[in-house]
Structure 1
């Protein structure tokens, strides 16, 4: 019994602890979807119904179907994002159809930024942008709580300085 539990504990320690993005990012993206597709759909349906007849108002169903599909896809995309801090690097995983996992070694980081646009600030969200010497390994974690984004920035900066000191 003890051997099995030790093996399980050892495997659990080796696995990264993944963190998901907060639900505020999904709410923000869905609101933007409704603004960009939902409102024009209603306006087009009403205008077509009044000026061209009720048959033409059915044309507004196409953007409505697109909005419904986008609503579902935004949820799947949001659930696919996660990140994990390990001893020597940061893992970022995302993607629904094409899964992408980015590994950013702490010693390779040159700059860590916290950014937040006007819409993100309204939803109390911030993104963390990681810059490395190779542009191909730059990474971004969107939609974090601002306190978590600042904590992550400070931790990554601290670990980056510690790892690059030996170079």
Structure 2
């Protein structure tokens, strides 16, 4: 079953471990703000005990997400073949997206403020069918630029052959 999502005839390239750091920071901000809001609302309306319990629930949720984010980051990988790009990710719900170069319409590179601060970017591939769109998060900016240029050139060259 593993061969279904990770063909062995290709060389897989993993994404940067910094992706986990960015996602953990996002989760920390989200759980922290929600926990403090719950603490204040429950503390002022019911009792500070309920507010503290809500804060503990949010802390447990953050701890659980910390583990899942690390596992998810390690699952992201991509491979360049002669005629297509393969992107695989997921632990519980695994996904393998195969994007033929000739089907690509355009390639985006994006990086939000936290991604830029950590020195990573996301490459997004767009095709005529949204089901075959793919993204590769957590790439070093130089690798994202190289991949964007290579995929654009391959997509243009193979689209002319259609």
Q: Shorter chain as normaliser: what TM range?
A: 0.7 to 0.9
Q: Post-superposition shift, 1:165?
A: 2.0
- 1:83-115 deviation per Cα after TM superposition (whole angstroms, max 9, x unaligned): 000111000001111111000001111101111
Moved more, 36-45 or 68-77: 36-45
Q: Residue 13 of structure 2 aligns with which residue? A: 19
Larger radius of gyration: 1
Taking the TM superposition and a 5 Å limit, the aligned residue runs for 1:53-68 are 53=48, 57-68=52-63
Gaps of 5+ in 2: 1-7
Of 84, 92, 96, which residue of structure 2 is paired with 1:101? 96
Q: Residue 31 of structure 2 aligns with which residue? A: 37
Matched, 1:140 2:135: yes
Taking the TM superposition and a 5 Å limit, the aligned residue runs for 1:55-134 are 57-134=52-129
For 2:148 and 2:51, how far apart are their aligned partners in 1?
53
List structure 1 segments (4+ residues) > 3 angstroms apart after TM superposition: 38-56
User: CA-atom RMSD, angstroms?
Assistant: 2.3
Q: TM-score, normalised by structure 1?
A: 0.81
Q: Post-superposition shift, 1:23?
A: 1.0
Q: TM-score, normalised by structure 2?
A: 0.84
Count of matched residue pairs = 154
Q: Residue 152 of structure 2 aligns with which residue? A: 157
For 2:23 and 2:119, how far apart are their aligned partners in 1?
13
